[in-house]
């Protein structure tokens, strides 16, 4: 029954016979292909999709390879500075190794403009060769009554394209009088401006001491726990704990102390910089933000 219907449809002279229409389309495509005049859109789309897929795959593979290389070089740099006490104890061979590792990392970011959005945040010092910082470490190493804890740089430049504010934060202490390592905070504030793609100029504004945390031994000396604490002793404790002092570095009518710094590498978890004029190099890693 069905075979007879199909045979009848095939012999029908109607132009709209589906079997005849299919035969005509096939004959037309065959003719056009033989004469190089037919390029089905579906084949073009498939070919373009295939080429785009290969290109994207190659680009992704290349980017992944570069990203792995950068992370490996950054690890080598951090490993090189690990046992130097942030730059205080280094041999000539170590300094050479650190410089070589630093240059390797810098090469991956050469020529690109600084992204102030990535710069914004808190950075912890891991290594430096800057004399003005090393003198703090040397003093702490030779003076029994002085300690230097963590050193940070805090940048405030989110949603900016011309500069911002930077704060150099130094945690320090006097043993037995203040808490270990973080008994007080030395804060040096500066405004900075972006003078080129990689250079920032700092204008120092203020130096202050704050966040005094006196030791338990000193608290016991001022206000012994076994004796009634007098109003005077409590006032002394409160004064010491809330004490802060500020010194303006920049005076009206006078040019402030400043410095030019070259930010040689920056990503979301590492910052490398050099003080222009032989002021030393710096290696920072991203740290958790904190309130001063």
Largest CA distance in the chain: 120
pLDDT recorded at residue 38: 46
SS3 content of the chain, % helix, strand, coil (to 5): 40, 30, 30
Mean per-residue pLDDT pooled into runs of 10, the chain (292 residues): 46 49 56 50 47 53 76 96 96 96 91 91 97 93 92 95 95 88 90 95 91 80 62 66 69 67 95 90 96 80
Q: Cβ distance 176 to 215 under 8 Å?
A: yes
3-state secondary structure of 215: coil
CA dist 292 and 290 (Å) reads: 7
* Predicted local confidence at residue 112, as pLDDT: 85
Q: 114, 196, 186: which is closest to 157 by C-alpha?
A: 114
pLDDT value, residue 189: 94
Q: How far apart are CA 21 and CA 28, in angstroms?
A: 11
Phi, psi of 137 (to 5 degrees): -65, -40
Which pLDDT score is estimated for 66?
A: 74
Q: What is the structure's pLDDT at 194?
A: 95
Contact status, residue 128 vs residue 283, Cβ threshold 8 Å: yes
Encoding tokens for residue 112?
């690109």
Distance, CA of 241 to CA of 215 (rounded, Å): 10
- C-alpha 242/C-alpha 157 separation (Å) is 29
Cα–Cα distances in Å, from 46 out to 26, 58, 218, 227? 21, 18, 79, 88
Q: What are the CA-CA distances from residue 65 to residues 77, 117, 273 (Å)?
A: 19, 25, 25
Ranges of H-type helices in the chain:
2-11, 18-34, 41-81, 92-106, 116-119, 131-142, 216-222, 231-242
């Amino acid at each position: 029954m069905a075979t007879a219907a199909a045979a009848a449809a095939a012999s029908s002279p109607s132009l709209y016979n589906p079997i005849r229409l299919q035969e005509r389309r096939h004959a037309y495509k065959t003719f056009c292909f033989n004469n190089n005049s037919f390029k089905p859109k579906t084949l073009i789309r498939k070919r373009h999709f295939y080429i785009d897929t290969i290109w994207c795959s190659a680009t992704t593979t290349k980017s992944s390879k570069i990203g792995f290389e950068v992370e490996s070089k950054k690890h080598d740099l951090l490993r090189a500075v690990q046992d130097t006490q942030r730059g205080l104890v280094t041999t000539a061979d170590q300094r050479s190794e650190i410089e070589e590792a630093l240059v390797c990392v810098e090469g991956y970011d050469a020529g690109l403009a600084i992204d102030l959005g990535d710069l914004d945040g808190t950075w912890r010092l891991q290594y430096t060769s800057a004399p003005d910082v090393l003198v703090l470490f040397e003093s702490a190493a030779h003076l029994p009554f002085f300690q230097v804890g963590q050193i940070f740089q805090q940048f405030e430049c989110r949603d900016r394209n011309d500069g911002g504010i930077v704060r150099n934060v130094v945690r320090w202490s006097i043993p037995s009088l203040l808490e270990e390592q973080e008994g007080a905070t030395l804060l040096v504030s500066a405004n900075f401006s972006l003078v080129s793609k990689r250079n920032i100029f700092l204008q120092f504004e203020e130096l202050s001491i704050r966040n005094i945390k006196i030791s338990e031994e000193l608290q016991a000396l001022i206000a012994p726990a076994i004796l009634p604490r007098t109003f005077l002793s409590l006032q002394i404790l409160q004064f010491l704990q809330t004490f802060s002092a500020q010194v303006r570095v920049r005076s009206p009518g006078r040019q402030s102390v400043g410095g030019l710094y070259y930010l040689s590498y920056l990503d979301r978890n590492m910052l490398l910089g050099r003080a222009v004029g032989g002021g030393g190099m710096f290696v920072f890693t991203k740290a958790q933000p904190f309130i001063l």
